[in-house]
């Protein structure tokens, strides 16, 4: 039934999803060019609000659970499992007060309405995966911006999407590099559930009636732990929550 309904509802979802991207492209441009970072961030927040709730056109539910009292005066490295591109808008919207930035492929900074503009000017790190020197340099620059502005970063530590929802081992590289530039960062795991089911049949049809859920878990105690141990602790916390 989820797949059958997808044939009917997916075109409606894509219509509103891409209309949102097109509408917010000039809004972002005006906010950034005329009013600077703060206005641009507000426009990006609301872009991701609409992208998140486009899921209603598929009958998918949105639940974001954050019972943690996270500091606003300290950089945070959020670490999550990764299931689909639909993981991202909810994180930006629901954690908007933490100014969450992403590490993205540099290719994404061109050609995608709204998303490319935000990646290019929003303060994240755009890396060339074929150039390790450039990638490390950009991540260190992001770490410095985090330290200077009390921003946060989102790391999908598996390095790729888990198409069946089963977690892959976490990689330490991005976390370790950020910690070099922002050593006081708090490590906070996020468990993502059922996002992979949206695209279990591919880009068409998308699956309907899924329960998409993000859960912010308790911060990882950092005292006396190196980046490898911190990464493992975040991975184990998410695995335990997801029963994996």
SS3 113: coil
Residues in CB range of 111: below 8 A, 6 or more apart? none
Q: What is the value of pTM for the model shown?
A: 0.94
Name the one residue in this structure whose structure tokens are 């000017």. Answer: 121
Element holding 78 (H helix, E strand): strand 76-80
* Cα dist from 228 to 22, 77, 166, 222, whole Å: 41, 14, 21, 11
Complete DSSP assignment for 127-144: E-TT-HHHHHHHHHHHHH
Per-residue pLDDT of the chain (244 residues; tens, 9 = 90+): 789 899 999 999 999 999 999 999 999 999 999 999 999 999 999 999 999 999 999 999 999 999 999 998 999 999 999 999 999 999 999 999 999 999 999 999 999 999 999 999 999 999 998 888 999 999 999 999 999 999 999 999 998 888 888 999 999 999 999 999 999 999 999 999 999 999 999 999 999 999 999 999 999 987 788 999 999 999 999 999 999 9
Q: What's the CATH number where 202 sits?
A: 3.40.1130
Judge contact between 123 and 101, C-beta under 8 A: yes
Residue-range definition of the domain harbouring residue 109 = 2-242
Judge contact between 101 and 127, C-beta under 8 A: no
SS3 188: strand
Q: What is the tally of structural domains in the chain?
A: 1
């Amino acid at each position: 039934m989820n797949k059958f309904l997808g044939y009917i509802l997916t075109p409606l979802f894509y219509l509103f999803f891409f209309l949102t991207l097109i509408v917010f492209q000039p809004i972002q441009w005006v906010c950034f060019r005329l009013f600077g970072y703060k206005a641009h961030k507000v426009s990006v927040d609301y872009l991701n609000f609409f992208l998140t709730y486009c899921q209603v056109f598929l009958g998918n539910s949105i639940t974001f659970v954050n019972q943690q009292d996270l500091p606003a005066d300290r950089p945070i490295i959020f670490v999550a499992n990764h299931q689909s591109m639909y993981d991202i808008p909810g994180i930006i919207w629901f954690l908007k007060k933490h100014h969450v930035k992403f590490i993205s492929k540099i290719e994404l900074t061109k050609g995608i309405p709204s998303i490319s503009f935000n990646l290019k000017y929003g303060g994240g790190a755009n890396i060339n995966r074929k150039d390790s020197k450039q990638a490390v340099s950009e991540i260190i620059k992001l770490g410095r911006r985090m330290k200077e502005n009390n921003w946060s970063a989102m790391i999908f530590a598996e390095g790729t999407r888990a198409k069946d929802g089963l977690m892959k081992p976490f990689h330490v590289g991005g976390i370790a590099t950020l910690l070099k530039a922002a050593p006081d960062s708090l490590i906070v795991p996020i468990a993502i559930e059922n996002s992979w089911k949206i695209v279990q049949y591919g880009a068409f049809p998308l699956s309907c009636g899924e329960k998409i859920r993000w859960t912010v878990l308790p911060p990882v105690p950092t005292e006396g732990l190196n980046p490898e141990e911190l990464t493992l602790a975040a991975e184990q916390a998410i695995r335990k929550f997801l029963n994996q």
